[in-house]
C-alpha cells in the first residue's frame, strides 16, 4: 500500500488492520508474509479448491437508498448465505467507494478499452460483484435467487452469468473449451501473500467474459492449435517439454532458429517474465449459453489489477488466439478483507 494514503483511504485500511488484530497500517506486512496462511484474513472463493460451478453477478445500489445503510444490509444478506458447500465472495466495484464516501484501495480502477473487444456494458461492472461457487449449479442458483430477492429494495441486479468446469479428477488441471489444460502456471499457496493477498487479506477480482469460436479452433490441425497456445494439448507441457509442470523455456530455439514457443503464442505473451515476475491467480470457468455462444469466464485474483491491464495489452496486440476469441463483458472489484466486511456490515465506516 502506498504511504501517501488519502485520509479516507487511511480510515479503510486502519479499520481493516485493527479488526484483523494487526498492530497498524504499515507494521504488519513482514509478519503476514512470514505467515503463508494470510489466507485467513481473506474471503472464501479465492484460493480454496475450485468447486465445479459458479454464478457471478453484478449489482448496483438503488438510487435514493441511503448508501451506507443499504450496503451494510446487503452485506448482511450476502454473509448470511455462507453455508457449507456454497461459498460467496463479495467484491466492491470502483463506483461503490465513491457512493459510500470511503477511500478506495490502491490500484482500484475501471479497465481501459482493449483492441478487438466488444464489451456489453449491461453485463459488465457494478457497485457490488459477487461470485457464488458450489459443487453443482443448483445450489448456486438457489442462493443467488435468494440474494436477489432479499436485497431487491436496496440492490438492482445488473447481470448474472453462470459457468462450469468440465469433469476432471482431483488434482488434475481442468481443460477449457479449446481442450487445453488451463491453470497450470498459477502461483502456489506459499506465493499467495506475495501475488494474491494484500497485507489485510484483500485482493482484486478481474472478470472477463470471453467468447470462444470453439468449432473453428478445434478444426485446426493439433500442431497449429499447440503453436497458438504454446503448450502441448494432451500433456499440457510447454512446447518442447514432456511434463505439464516443466518450466516454460522462452529462449529455446529449433534447429532452424525459430523459437520453440512461438512469438505470437498465448503462453509467451502472457508469461510473467514480461512483468518482472508478477503473477495472478487464474480461477476461470467455461460458459455455454447455447446457440454457439460459449467461452471462458476468465476470473483472476491479484494484488494490483494493473497487472491484468499489462498482460491484456500484450495479448490484445499480438496473441495468435485473438482470431478465435472476443472479450464481451468485464468487471473489476476489490474483494474486501473479512475484517472490513464486518465493520461495514455493522455500519462502521471509520468516521
Give the CA diameter of the chain: 68
DSSP lists the bridge partners of residue 162 as 55
- Produce one character per residue of 48-74: b if its CB has 16 or more CB atoms within 10 Å, e if not: eebbbbbbbbbbbbeeebebbebbbbb
Q: Is residue 210 part of the contact set for ligand HEM (CB under 6 A)?
A: yes
Instruction: Say how far apart CA 146 and CA 55 lie, in whole Å.
Output: 13
Instruction: Say how far apart CA 324 and CA 216 lie, in whole Å.
Output: 7
- Judge whether 119 and 53 are in contact, CB under 8 Å: no
Q: Is residue 183 part of the contact set for ligand HEM (CB under 6 A)?
A: yes
Per-residue cell: 167: 469433469
Footprint on residues 267-286 left by ligand HEM (CB under 6 A): 267, 270-272
Q: Is residue 176 part of the contact set for ligand HEM (CB under 6 A)?
A: yes
**Helix axis angle, 137-150 relative to 67-80, nearest 10°?**
150
Q: Report the nearest approach of ligand HEM to the CB of residue 15 (Å).
A: 32
DSSP state of 293: -
Per-residue cell: 331: 468487471
Footprint on residues 68-87 left by ligand HEM (CB under 6 A): none
Footprint on residues 135-154 left by ligand HEM (CB under 6 A): none
Instruction: Say how far apart CA 123 and CA 208 lie, in whole Å.
Output: 10
Q: Report the nearest approach of ligand HEM to the CB of residue 61 (Å).
A: 29
Q: Is residue 304 part of the contact set for ligand HEM (CB under 6 A)?
A: no
Q: Is residue 204 part of the contact set for ligand HEM (CB under 6 A)?
A: no
Q: Report the nearest approach of ligand HEM to the CB of residue 57 (Å).
A: 21
Q: Nearer Cβ to ligand HEM, position 245 or 253?
A: 245
Q: Map residues 317-346 to x or -, x wherever contact with ligand HEM holds by CB under 6 A.
A: --------x---------------------
Question: CB under 6 A: which stretch of 2-10, 52-60, 106-114, 174-182 binds ligand HEM?
Answer: 174-182
Q: Report the nearest approach of ligand HEM to the CB of residue 274 (Å).
A: 9
Q: Is residue 178 part of the contact set for ligand HEM (CB under 6 A)?
A: yes
Q: Is residue 217 part of the contact set for ligand HEM (CB under 6 A)?
A: no
Helix (H) or strand (E) holding 226: helix 222-229
Instruction: Say how far apart CA 21 and CA 3 lie, in whole Å.
Output: 20
Q: Report the nearest approach of ligand HEM to the CB of residue 200 (Å).
A: 25
**Site residues (CB under 6 A) for ligand HEM?**
176, 178, 180-185, 208, 210, 212, 229, 231, 248, 266-267, 270-272, 295-296, 298, 308, 311-312, 315, 325
Amino acid at each position: 500500500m502506498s504511504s501517501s494514503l488519502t485520509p479516507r483511504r487511511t480510515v479503510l485500511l486502519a479499520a481493516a488492520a485493527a479488526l484483523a488484530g494487526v498492530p497498524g497500517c504499515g507494521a504488519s506486512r513482514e509478519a503476514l508474509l512470514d505467515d503463508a496462511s494470510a489466507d485467513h484474513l481473506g474471503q472464501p472463493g479465492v484460493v480454496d479448491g475450485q468447486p465445479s460451478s459458479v454464478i457471478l453477478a453484478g449489482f448496483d445500489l438503488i438510487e435514493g437508498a441511503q448508501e451506507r445503510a443499504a450496503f451494510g444490509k446487503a452485506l448482511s444478506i450476502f454473509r448470511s448465505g455462507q453455508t457449507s458447500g456454497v461459498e460467496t465472495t463479495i467484491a466492491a466495484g470502483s463506483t461503490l467507494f465513491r457512493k459510500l464516501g470511503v477511500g478506495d484501495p490502491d490500484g482500484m480502477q475501471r479497465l481501459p478499452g482493449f483492441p478487438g473487444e466488444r464489451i456489453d456494458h449491461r453485463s459488465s461492472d457494478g457497485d457490488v460483484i459477487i461470485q457464488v461457487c458450489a459443487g453443482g449449479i443448483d445450489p448456486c442458483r438457489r442462493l443467488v435467487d435468494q440474494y436477489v430477492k432479499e436485497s431487491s429494495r436496496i440492490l438492482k441486479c445488473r447481470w448474472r452469468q453462470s459457468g462450469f468446469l468440465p469433469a476432471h479428477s482431483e488434482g488434475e488441471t481442468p481443460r477449457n473449451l479449446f481442450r487445453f489444460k488451463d491453470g497450470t502456471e498459477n502461483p502456489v499457496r506459499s506465493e499467495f501473500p506475495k501475488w494474491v493477498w494484500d497485507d489485510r487479506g484483500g485482493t482484486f477480482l478481474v472478470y472477463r467474459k470471453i467468447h470462444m469460436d470453439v468449432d473453428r479452433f478445434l478444426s485446426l490441425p493439433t500442431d497449429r492449435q499447440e503453436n497458438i497456445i504454446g503448450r502441448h494439448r494432451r500433456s499440457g507441457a510447454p512446447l518442447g517439454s514432456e511434463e505439464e509442470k516443466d518450466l516454460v523455456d522462452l529462449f529455446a530455439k529449433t534447429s532452424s532458429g525459430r523459437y520453440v514457443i512461438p512469438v505470437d503464442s498465448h503462453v509467451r505473451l502472457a508469461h510473467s517474465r514480461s512483468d518482472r515476475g508478477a503473477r495472478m491467480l487464474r480461477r476461470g470457468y467455461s460458459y455455454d449459453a447455447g446457440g454457439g455462444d460459449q467461452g471462458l469466464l476468465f476470473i483472476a485474483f491479484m494484488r494490483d489489477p494493473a497487472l491484468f491491464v499489462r498482460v491484456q495489452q500484450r495479448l490484445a496486440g499480438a496473441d495468435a488466439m485473438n482470431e478465435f476469441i472476443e472479450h464481451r463483458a468485464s468487471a473489476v472489484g476489490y474483494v474486501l478483507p473479512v475484517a472490513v466486511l464486518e465493520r461495514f456490515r455493522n455500519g462502521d465506516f471509520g468516521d
